Amino acid sequence: MENQYFVDSDKLSEAALKKKHTLENDPSSRTDHMQYMEGMERIDSDIMDKVMSEVRSYDYSQYTARDVHMALSHDVCSVEDFKALLSPAAEPFLEKMAQKAKLETQKHFGNTVYLFTPLYIANYCENYCVYCGFNCYNDIKRMKLNMEQIEHEMKVIADSGMEEILILTGESRGMSGIEYIGEACKLARKYFRMVGIEIYPVNTDEYKYLHECGVDYVTVFQETYDSDRYEQLHLMGHKRVWPYRFEAQERALMAGMRGVAGSALLGLSDFRKDALASALHMYFLQRKYPHAEISLSCPRLRPIVNNDKIDPLDVHEKQLCQVLCAYRIFMPFCGITVSSRESEQFRNGIVKIAATKVSAGVSTGVGDHESKYTGKENDSAEGDEQFEIADGRSFDKMYKDMSDEGLQPVLNDYLYV
């Protein structure tokens, strides 16, 4: 990717504008989204075929109230039961689903809720994903923190009491290389008990290196499991390669990571099929790697810089609640994260039913934690945010609110010995 396609100035270059127009209007100008690019590792795995076989055969219109009733009556939720719980026929049963999900959550997690915060260290990106605020053609303020700035941000976060951090970058190997991310993770180990990353997918040896730098777990969002829709939304860059992204969590586990998380971005395509694929992806990983900690997320589309009209496609809070309850019933041991994309009211409610982890003190921008946490002016520039958040509660406020809801906030549950 040529640097001329980074939007690091007020206007796109003429060449970039021409390239952008061609990509949007001429599908033949795009690379094959199913073809691995040079340097991308292939692994021997049947998980993708298993997941997509189930998704292709899923016709949720065929499920009836009787199917849902039977699914809720079973002690163990089968794949077929899960499909019924995701179907439109299950919507009238939402209260019963919530009751069953709540029992499963309490059985396996008690009344605990885990707290973490994200830290964006760079927002340069080499991909053209039409729904993302970081995409390389979006005219935003770009920034990459140096190690001194990263450590300062981490200290501000750690001083608030947070013990788990998720390090994120835009998807640019050129601007956010593996060594750069690794050094940031080494710094994170000085301040936090748990370190996760949400970066561009990498090969097994690179995940192994990052694990050695202190990373505990890896999060990768498939965005949508509908490969045709994926091709329409990801027009350029390494992220365009659908199968390589699909296999990222498995490469991370092969490299020794303790845990992985994943999901679709609900609202990009048929959310019921994407929810099915997300859960089955994690389900088959759990069966193949039973030692691993597996988590699911449930992000919905949010407005982005220069495009405030992006919203979830037919995924309203009622549908999201149905998905989360179905996740919990199908995978009782699985961690479920609900991010600040969702409202304070929704998150306060869902942590009592199905979710086990929430973010707090969130910023999706770069270099702005001091100004947001302490109110002090930041001496250095700040990079624009990836998307707008809906719940901006601080760590202290989130901790108090969770306690007031009768829950026990947990900052860390893992000790290295």
Q: pLDDT tens digit string along 183-212?
A: 999 999 999 999 999 999 999 999 999 999
5 pLDDT above the threshold of 50: no
Quickly tell me which residue has 């021997």 as its tokens: 44
310 pLDDT above the threshold of 70: no
Percent of the chain with pLDDT over 70: 90
- Band of the pLDDT at 308, cuts 50, 70, 90? low
Task: Write out pLDDT tens, residues 213-222.
Answer: 999 999 999 9
The full set of domain ranges for the chain reads 3-410
Which residues are within 8 A (CB) of 82 and not within 5 positions of it... i.e. 6 or more apart?
71, 276, 279, 326, 329, 330
Between strands 293-297 and 335-338, the pairing is: parallel
Average pLDDT for 294-309: 76
| CATH of the domain spanning 3-410 | 3.20.20.70
44 pLDDT above the threshold of 70: yes
